[in-house]
Structure 1
Amino acid sequence: MANGFAPRACSRGRDTIPNLRIGKGTKVIFQGFTGKAATANAKDTIAYGTNIAGGVSPGKGGQTHLDRPVFDSVREAVLAVKPDVSAVFVPAAFAAAAIIESIEAEMPLVVSVAEHIPVHDMLRVQEVLRTQTKTRLVGPNCPGIIAPEQCRVGIMPYKQYMRGCVGIVSKSGTLSYEAVGATTKIGLGQSLVMGMGGDMLPGTTLVDGLKTFFDHDETKGIIVIGEIGGEAELKAAALIKEYRRSTAHPKPIIAMVAGRTAPPGKTMGHAGAILQATEVSAEDKARALADAGVVVVPHPGVMGVKMEQLLRDQ
């Protein structure tokens, strides 16, 4: 890899990590294109400058919508317009089938924002993902992914985003918006912002986001936002420790872990944010990240100022 960092583990999933590097030339389609939610989102996304090439609505193939072609299936859309990303805007009950349809069509990147997809459905999606090397999934239950001023795929409040040098990966959509606001206010902006989502079985993890940023030329500093539930932060800490040990000039990394005052056993906001009795606490996660050389902050409001200091001191 470009900076000499080589993770130990080997998996098929890593083959698709470069698919996360969206930009101005990225071509996007919508699944559920003619639906109310997709239509509203597509209008904003087109106005933002994202290259929306069309969409899929079964039974409506051959029509046009928002002056873009409509296809009956993802495979038809792939053959006709050769998209790079599919934004899945279908109800949760049908989202897994839509994701799998995109995987079967070898879509490079699939972004699913839907909440409440049944866990059993996501288990099936995960099994399908593990059998292939072409498709990367972001989500579900996430705001999506954005390269500010270049390409937006998701539901994030894009007007506060500014193209810049800070890469952000977050389990919390709301806190990622706060981190964006802090880095925009200070003038740093963002290179790429991805929400891994609060689902128990995310397609893209904190570790995947970090691997993207380590070798992303536009990214000069990295922000990681974790929370209670699961062990994604511990895996991120282990990866960061190895990265910092094996890289001559590692990029500065800031992190925070939400949920330090959350009561055990109570779901906080979404299914993944729950502190079980047997799980590590937010304090333990923050300590692991600090031990890996990460600057841990108490809230996202200080991330912009702190990152500016770290970049200046390099």
Structure 2
Amino acid sequence: MSIFIDENSKVIVQGITGSEGTKHTAKMLKSGTNIVGGVNARKAGQTVTIEGKELTVFGTVEEAMKETGADVSVIFVPPKFAKDAVIEAIDAEIGLAVVITEGIPVHDSAYFWAHAGAKGNQTRIIGPNCPGIISPGKSNVGIIPSDIAPVPGKIGLVSKSGTLTYQMMYELREIGFSTAIGIGGDPVIGTTHIDAL
């Protein structure tokens, strides 16, 4: 059983043209994630080719969702722009926003967390400052290395620590995981241990 993501998840990358966005998009594609496009308002209408896949860069999350059917966004936007990026995803009512960015001011995180609540929690937020979420063999949204636990299995893992997520997945790799979620170590996060359990 996987939660939040599976092989049918259609993923867009906010910040796909930045160095981190490009690097991790390549890794997500290699692990089988169905990435359907990216978002960067300044590069709207361009395409990028990553791992042999041509991806359109859209101006907004809403436009990307309309054109691709995306239901997940992974956010690789620098800290000073992250609040606006998450709010854009919430306003577009995408189902899941995975906020990888580290160093977002707590006030900004509290603001977009409250904004999601005010909008009826249509968007589940994972993070910020998290490694993301992986269902081995199905989808990998974030920066979790897919080769540390390549075997699907019955274990579910929820952790605040990215490093300990990786270590636990590696130690139990022969048993396998259904879904592993790094919820992030910041004081204000979207999805808690209890939510994930």
Superposition TM-score, scaled by structure 2 size = 0.93
Supply the distance in 1 between the matched residues of 2:95 and 2:137 (Cα, whole angstroms): 21
What's the counterpart of residue 208 of structure 1? 195
What's the counterpart of residue 162 of structure 2? 173
Q: Given residue 116 of structure 1, which amino acid in structure 2 is its aligned partner? A: G
Q: Given residue 44 of structure 2, which amino acid in structure 1 is its aligned partner? A: G
Supply the distance in 2 between the matched residues of 1:180 and 1:174 (Cα, whole angstroms): 10
Are 2:48 and 1:65 aligned?
yes
Q: Given residue 182 of structure 1, which amino acid in structure 2 is its aligned partner? A: E
Are 2:35 and 1:52 aligned?
yes
Name which one, 1 or 2, has greater alpha-carbon Rg: 1
Contact 2:4 2:96 in 1 (8 A): no
Contact 1:20 1:136 in 2 (8 A): no
Q: Given residue 189 of structure 2, which amino acid in structure 1 is its aligned partner? A: P
Larger strand proportion, structure 1 or 2? 2
User: Secondary structure of 1:130's match?
Assistant: helix
Supply the distance in 2 between the matched residues of 1:133 and 1:91 (Cα, whole angstroms): 24
What's the counterpart of residue 152 of structure 1? 140
Picking from 138, 146, 149, the partner of 2:126 is: 138
Cα offset, 1:101, TM superposition: 0.3
Picking from 163, 171, 175, the partner of 1:182 is: 171
Supply the distance in 1 between the matched residues of 2:190 and 2:4 (Cα, whole angstroms): 15
Structure 2 counterparts to residues 239-254 of structure 1, below 5 A: none
Cα root mean square deviation, aligned? 1.2
Structure 2 counterparts to residues 85-100 of structure 1, below 5 A: 85-100=72-87
Percent identity over paired residues = 44
Structure 1: 5+ residue stretches without partners: 1-18, 211-314
Contact 1:145 1:153 in 2 (8 A): yes
Supply the distance in 2 between the matched residues of 1:196 and 1:60 (Cα, whole angstroms): 30
User: Secondary structure of 2:41's match?
Assistant: coil
Structure 2: 5+ residue stretches without partners: none
Supply the distance in 1 between the matched residues of 2:95 and 2:115 (Cα, whole angstroms): 14
Cα offset, 1:133, TM superposition: 3.0
Supply the distance in 1 between the matched residues of 2:37 and 2:188 (Cα, whole angstroms): 29
Write out per-residue CA displacement over residues 116-165 of structure 1, whole angstroms, 9 at most, x where no aligned residue: 10011111111101112310000001100011121011111221122111
Cα offset, 1:63, TM superposition: 1.3
Cα offset, 1:77, TM superposition: 0.4
Are 2:17 and 1:34 aligned?
yes
Q: Which has the higher contact order (CA 8 A, sep 6+)?
A: 2
Report the number of matched residues: 190
Write out per-residue CA displacement over residues 11-62 of structure 1, whole angstroms, 9 at most, x where no aligned residue: xxxxxxxx95211111100001111110111111111111000000112221
Q: Given residue 147 of structure 1, which amino acid in structure 2 is its aligned partner? A: S
Supply the distance in 2 between the matched residues of 1:128 and 1:189 (Cα, whole angstroms): 36
Supply the distance in 1 between the matched residues of 2:102 and 2:19 (Cα, whole angstroms): 17
Larger helix proportion, structure 1 or 2? 1
Cα offset, 1:114, TM superposition: 1.0
